[in-house]
Chain A
Amino acid sequence: MTKTVLKGAITSVAILAGAGMALAEGNLVINGDLELTTEAPAPSHIEGLTTVYSGWVFRDSFTQAMEMDDFDNPGMLFVDAGEDMWNEPAGTSGKACADCHGDASESMAGVRAVYPKWNEAAGEVRTLEMQINACRTENQGAEALKYGKGDIVSLEAYISMQSRGMPMNVAIDGPVADVWAQGKQMYYTRTGQLELSCASCHEENYGNLIRAETLSQGQTNGFPVYRIKDSVLTSAAGRFVGCVRDTKAETYKIDSSDFVALELYVASRGNGLSVEGVSVRN
């Protein structure tokens, strides 16, 4: 046991020493001018980590480079689609998001960095996907969109871009404390026939190879994520479904309150890392 933990730690240090070298020559700088924080001291509420790293750090240089230039980042096409939706009237109200929220670069600046967040009127924690659907159904009179990929994630991408470069800063106390604790409990629960928890891979083994893939810390600051593998822009909940399924477990429903709790907790593990707008992963 101690042996493995030690070995994991050494491997991670070796990998991150490599990343550290990369930091000297090229950290995550977008379009040559916006520098993002991909490494930060772990927030004090996370016992199992001393430093937090963006998933970008663990990807190969080809994938890293795609995120460093908006012309090469396929996620930008979804941002454009999201902007169109933002300005397009929808539903029985005939209103567009922009009719109420105006210029997203002002009204949505900083929003992505604090989600999931408590909504006082609704008395619940909301992910950005939930809030978008709440505005669609309650304010636009439009139908709810399916979570995980597609239009809702394009809108999320457009909103997220308005916070690019801002540090993740989700609240974990006050009215969200119980939900956060539930998410933490889920994070350390070993599910499925493989009996693996999120922590088994993303806390104990980040920096290690699982087959051909280098494990990251499973942070959500990069979401929505464009995945080269399937050419799809995914939300955090969409990614969680796959990770739970891969433990040979019954997944939680993508729109379940369980995943809201997990998303809040996981987001809080990345407090201090930059919102990446839309990131690129393999």
Chain B
Amino acid sequence: MKRIIPITVGVALVATLAVAAEVSPENVAFDEYGAVSESLTGVAGDAAAGLKAMETKSQGNCFACHQISAAADIPFHGSVGPSLDGVASRWDETQLRGIVAGVKNTFPDTVMPSFYKSSGFIRPGDGFTGKAGTEPLPTLLTAQQVEDIVAYLLTLTE
């Protein structure tokens, strides 16, 4: 949908929408199955930036738990979660957005963290310092990083 808007228009939209239209963590509209149909930013995701955010330990750190054959050059893929190979044939864009933003709406008991959530934690910390943090915490991923990662995941068709 929004991804087919020509780039120039997209850029113009950033200026007007980035602040105005970014969905805040508490306002993400999950449907009853955990899918999120509206883009969190209105800006098309950038798959390359998405892979970068997935790889970065202080951001997605997705490879701690997941394995992706197409990203075999990234060292050390974990096995706590399932392989993400072919994930785009199992889930559509809205479902993937829901899983990346707030996975517990899809899998209630999963060990996978909620990446676009800022409050409601038990003993929230200040990053990895071990000290107390103050809610709302900065989300693990920004709204745009969620969109970027969804764009990357959509490339994993087999």
- The answer to the question of A34 belonging to the interface, with a C-beta cut-off of 8 Å to chain B, is no
A250 touching B81, Cβ below 8 Å: no
Q: A residues within 8 A CB of B64? A: 210-211
CB distance from B15 to the nearest CB of A (A): 31
Residue pairs across A and B with CB atoms within 8 Å: the count is 90
Q: B residues within 8 A CB of A215? A: 80
B83's nearest neighbour on chain A, judged by CB, is A7
Contact with A along B34-67 (1 / 0, CB 8 A): 0000000000000000000000000000011100
Total interface residues in chain B, CB < 8 Å: 34
A250 touching B133, Cβ below 8 Å: yes
Among B16-24, B103-111, B144-152, the stretch in contact with A: B103-111
- The answer to the question of A45 belonging to the interface, with a C-beta cut-off of 8 Å to chain B, is no
In chain B, residues 123-154, which have Cβ atoms closer than 8 Å to a Cβ of chain A? 123-133, 137, 140
Q: B residues within 8 A CB of A3? A: 82
Q: A residues within 8 A CB of B63? A: 211
- The answer to the question of A77 belonging to the interface, with a C-beta cut-off of 8 Å to chain B, is no
- Distance between Cα atoms of A1 and B109 in the complex (Å): 7
Interface of B is mostly: loop
- Distance between Cα atoms of A241 and B122 in the complex (Å): 16
- The answer to the question of A121 belonging to the interface, with a C-beta cut-off of 8 Å to chain B, is no
- Distance between Cα atoms of A251 and B131 in the complex (Å): 7
- Distance between Cα atoms of A246 and B132 in the complex (Å): 13
- The answer to the question of A208 belonging to the interface, with a C-beta cut-off of 8 Å to chain B, is yes
A193 touching B130, Cβ below 8 Å: no
B139's nearest neighbour on chain A, judged by CB, is A193
A1 touching B107, Cβ below 8 Å: yes
A15's nearest neighbour on chain B, judged by CB, is B79
Q: B residues within 8 A CB of A201? A: 111
Answer whether A192 and B124 are a contact pair too, CB < 8 Å, given A250-B131, A251-B130.
Answer: yes
Answer whether A249 and B125 are a contact pair too, CB < 8 Å, given A7-B82, A193-B140, A205-B80.
Answer: yes
- The answer to the question of A146 belonging to the interface, with a C-beta cut-off of 8 Å to chain B, is no
Q: A4-B82, A212-B76 are in contact. List 20 more A-B contacts (CB 8 A).
A: A4-B81, A8-B80, A191-B121, A193-B113, A193-B133, A194-B113, A204-B111, A208-B78, A208-B80, A209-B76, A209-B77, A210-B64, A210-B65, A211-B64, A215-B80, A245-B128, A247-B125, A248-B128, A248-B133, A250-B124
Chain B residues engaging chain A, CB cutoff 8 angstroms: 63-65, 75-82, 107-111, 113-114, 117, 121-133, 137, 140
